[in-house]
Structure 1
Amino acid sequence: MWTLSRVITKTTLENGVRVLSEAVSSVRSIAIGVWIDSGSRNDPEHLAGISHFVEHTVFKGTAKRRMHQIASRMESVGGYMNAFTSKEHTCYFARALDSYLARGVDSTCDLVASPVFPEREIEKEKGVVLEEIKMYEDTPDEYIADRFESVIYPAQSIGRPIIGYPKTISRLRREDLCEYVNREYTPDQIVVAAAGNLCHKTLLKSVEKAFQGLRPAGSKGPEKPELSPYMPAELSLTRPIQQGHLILGRRGITIHSKQRAVLEIINTILGGGSSSRLNQRIRERYGFCYSVYSFLNMYSDCGDFGVYVGLDASRIERSIRLIFREFDRLAQTPVSNQALNRAKGQARGGIALGLESMSNRMARLGKQELYFGKITSMDEVIAELEAVTTDEIQSFAAEFLRPEQFSRVMLVPSA
């Protein structure tokens, strides 16, 4: 019996900011995250990439601190601060010794509450982001992943690269950034999550102080547009590279789906690690590739699933047949109890090992609050995985893993 219960405390401030904490007395550190319920799919089409660009430029100065002070504030006490933007969220986070909880809260909340966006720094940061775009475009597996999303979510914001495009980044103005923050960084959109050796009351006091002047919620942007129907498609690209790259994928399920645990187990069986069926078949048995794995992304109203493999371009068609053969095997032949228990054990172990990290615990708090409005215990998560049966896997695979539902994106060396 797995017992991974957690003591979670949640408070909602008068202005609407939600504060969650998990006290872990066995460590001497803390992880703090200020989560915004807004990501790249909230970007207007003509300003694609603005969420990510804002995440960069808040570090260029606030009403309280200059850029260098922001950069050194946590590092000077042995901690660090960073941020990331995803399709649906933005997070500013810090890690430090537990004695610097107040400093970590003040530093991260300050980025959200009072960025000033210096004009000169905006222009310099455009150059930085444009170089980042080039870096991703020069990284084949990153490049093909972006192209895959554009294929399964055509002409939709969730299918655009989080980082945006050179033309949209180049046109960003300070007014655009300020308008975005005023619209999206509102108290009802903010969750502060913290995990480690901390006291919730102390955390709450620090958050209240940091956000005491936070502006009330203003006018919201347009609601997420309804997704267009999915139509399988094929895209073939060439680049001056040495290796071919392939993604076979399709639209998947939402993070709220009752079949989430079933697909997570299928994902583990097919492409989750060295012992997975795809790795054993394509890499170990045939020696076709170095890297092959399956992936699963789930969002609030959609999701996607696929298989990536990097290999010689002459072996792409053969590999496609091998991948579909493994799909058919799952649909036609019940998974053995041994294989099912192995996949469940791998999932359980991943969850348990993840709890060793305060950053992971903090991230679970933030994501679950934003997606579900509540925290699901680790015992409940594991119970859902443990309840998955061989019949459920076979039935789901028979419907979900049909080859005609999969899109193909190929990136091959140019002649």
Structure 2
Amino acid sequence: QDILLRMINGENPNAFKSVLSNGLTVIGRQMPSLSSVAMGIWIGAGSRYETAKINGISHFLEHLLFKGTKKRSGEQLKQAIEGVGGSFNGFTSEEATCYLVKVVNKHTSLGLDVLSDMVKNPLLKEADIEKERRVIIQEIKMYEDLPSHYVHELFGELLWPDHPLGRNIAGTLQSVSSIKRKALLDYWEEYYQTGNSVFSISGNFKKETILSQIEGYFGKIKKGKRKKFLPAKRKINHPQIKLNFKETEQAHLCLGGIGLSRNHPDRYTLELLSTILGGNMSSRLFREVREKRSLAYAIRAESHQQHDTGAFVVSAGVAPERTKEALRVILKELKKIKEKNVSPGELKRAKDFLLGQLTLSLEDSSSYMLWLGSQQITEGRTETFKEVKDCINRVEEQDLKRIASLIFQNSNLKLALIGPLKNKEELFSFLKL
């Protein structure tokens, strides 16, 4: 049964949602002015579905599905797509794994063939598992050597201690070293089935033709039910610091706390707060921290959402001897925005920025495919552009102040820091609004 989705201008005949005979949900949008087709198969499997013992197994399996099937070697998989000028990738997040292909539309059936082959017929050979294990271990070590990245991992540990959300998506050296082939096969059997999957597609195609093709390639995937993950725990109601001493040229910091979930009615209010504080080069933190005081080259504020929780974070790299000054300026801006209304002009600019960025991204078939699939796999529905626009435009100055007061509290403050600093107690004295 086809269900028209309301897209950019309300009801859009180019958008559709359908369920195959085996229960696989297909969601898509025709973009007839393009020459490309972007498609992705989404699995409800990510790091928050994992126990500590198998932490990293979703990501490990994603790597292995590129290593070959009963029909094609890993090299043949890559050559099939790249040989026609297409792109081929995969990624794992906390709540989903996605395999995606983008091709010129005359090669759509090839893209469907390759994607379906990967998820239906992986070999998971012992030799490939051992090779990829070594690759992933190097990946983990690489990111540990990148403090601007690794500090976000430490920040997650503060927000969600002893919980899957607080663990590395790639796993730990210990967990990745101990995952066996049977565990990978069992995980694939349990999670890679229709009730736990979504297929998203956008670009230049005919709807009836594409649905028939998807049925042909994906119709034999085994049936199953949606998997559940461990709910997020209640937040810890006191400020915390995680300090990782390292002889780096900069001190890399993440300062923030628990934010709002993907389903929270005020999530776009927090997005606007993030934009005003540190979402672009005209933001308050960019101006105060970089332009006025030259404390950092890179500084930004972001809001991240999961199904039932979220995070607000300000990240920056600063000169170690000026860390306290940078923290003082950041905290001052957080306090200011919760005590004093944002001007109507500043709020309008933030709204226009968010909507403009979204509009530009949705001109691309890959971005539209990701927009559709990521929402459908995590929430079971897709927000329309009009719904997002209406939510953003409804936000008023007092809403920003209300949500800032909710999020920017001393009890919710968490600071993760990597650099040549040792005095944790001194940093605690600064951690207040």
1:274 aligns with: 281
Q: TM-score by structure 1 length?
A: 0.96
Instruction: State the shift of 1:57 in Å.
Output: 0.3
In structure 2, distance between residues paired with 1:230 and 1:257: 20
Instruction: State the shift of 1:225 in Å.
Output: 4.3
Partner-residue secondary structure (3-state), 1:56: helix
Partner-residue secondary structure (3-state), 1:242: coil
2:183 aligns with: 176
2:267 aligns with: 260
2:408 aligns with: 401
CA 1:141–1:70 in structure 2 vs 1: closer, same or farther (change >3 Å)? same
Partner-residue secondary structure (3-state), 1:279: helix
Contact 1:106–1:207 (CA<8 Å) still a contact in 2? no
1:239 maps to which of 246, 261, 272: 246
Partner-residue secondary structure (3-state), 1:308: strand
1:224 aligns with: 230
Deviations, residues 283-320 of structure 1 (Å, cap 9, x unaligned): 00001110000111101111111100101111111111
Contact 2:64–2:132 (CA<8 Å) still a contact in 1? yes
Instruction: State the shift of 1:240 in Å.
Output: 2.8
Instruction: State the shift of 1:108 in Å.
Output: 1.2
Contact 1:267–1:296 (CA<8 Å) still a contact in 2? yes
CA 1:358–1:243 in structure 2 vs 1: closer, same or farther (change >3 Å)? same
2:322 aligns with: 315
Letter in 2 for 1:250: G
Instruction: State the shift of 1:174 in Å.
Output: 1.2
Letter in 2 for 1:285: K
In structure 1, distance between residues paired with 2:249 and 2:39: 42
CA 1:382–1:226 in structure 2 vs 1: closer, same or farther (change >3 Å)? closer
Instruction: State the shift of 1:3 in Å.
Output: 5.7
Instruction: State the shift of 1:385 in Å.
Output: 0.5
Instruction: State the shift of 1:38 in Å.
Output: 1.5
Q: TM-score by structure 2 length?
A: 0.92
CA 1:31–1:221 in structure 2 vs 1: closer, same or farther (change >3 Å)? closer
CA 1:4–1:413 in structure 2 vs 1: closer, same or farther (change >3 Å)? farther
Aligned counterparts, 1:49-198, within 5 A:
49-198=56-205
In structure 2, distance between residues paired with 1:352 and 1:394: 27
Is 277-286 or 399-408 further displaced after alignment?
A: 399-408
Partner-residue secondary structure (3-state), 1:94: strand
Contact 1:84–1:91 (CA<8 Å) still a contact in 2? yes
1:251 maps to which of 258, 265, 286: 258
Q: CA RMSD in A?
A: 1.7
In structure 1, distance between residues paired with 2:68 and 2:273: 46
Instruction: State the shift of 1:221 in Å.
Output: 6.4
Letter in 2 for 1:229: K
CA 1:309–1:223 in structure 2 vs 1: closer, same or farther (change >3 Å)? closer
Unaligned runs of 5+ in 1: none
Is 268-277 or 111-120 further displaced after alignment?
A: 111-120
Letter in 1 for 2:25: R
2:46 aligns with: 39
Letter in 1 for 2:212: K
In structure 2, distance between residues paired with 1:323 and 1:34: 41
Unaligned runs of 5+ in 2: 1-6, 423-433
Instruction: State the shift of 1:183 in Å.
Output: 0.7
Matched, 1:208 2:215: yes
1:18 maps to which of 21, 25, 32: 25
In structure 1, distance between residues paired with 2:314 and 2:232: 26
Instruction: State the shift of 1:236 in Å.
Output: 0.9
1:381 maps to which of 364, 388, 412: 388
CA 1:221–1:197 in structure 2 vs 1: closer, same or farther (change >3 Å)? closer
In structure 2, distance between residues paired with 1:165 and 1:290: 31
Instruction: State the shift of 1:228 in Å.
Output: 4.3
Contact 2:236–2:412 (CA<8 Å) still a contact in 1? no
Letter in 2 for 1:110: D
Matched, 1:27 2:34: yes
Contact 1:152–1:233 (CA<8 Å) still a contact in 2? no
In structure 2, distance between residues paired with 1:223 and 1:269: 33
Partner-residue secondary structure (3-state), 1:93: strand
State, as a whole percentage, how many aligned pairs show the same letter: 32
Instruction: State the shift of 1:16 in Å.
Output: 1.1
Deviations, residues 189-245 of structure 1 (Å, cap 9, x unaligned): 110000000122222222212223322327x86642452433431111111321111
In structure 2, distance between residues paired with 1:205 and 1:63: 24
Partner-residue secondary structure (3-state), 1:319: helix
Contact 2:44–2:95 (CA<8 Å) still a contact in 1? yes
In structure 2, distance between residues paired with 1:212 and 1:347: 38
Contact 2:44–2:227 (CA<8 Å) still a contact in 1? no
Instruction: State the shift of 1:143 in Å.
Output: 0.7
Letter in 1 for 2:112: V
Number of residue-to-residue matches in the alignment: 413
Aligned counterparts, 1:346-361, within 5 A:
346-361=353-368
Partner-residue secondary structure (3-state), 1:59: coil
Instruction: State the shift of 1:413 in Å.
Output: 2.6
Partner-residue secondary structure (3-state), 1:236: strand
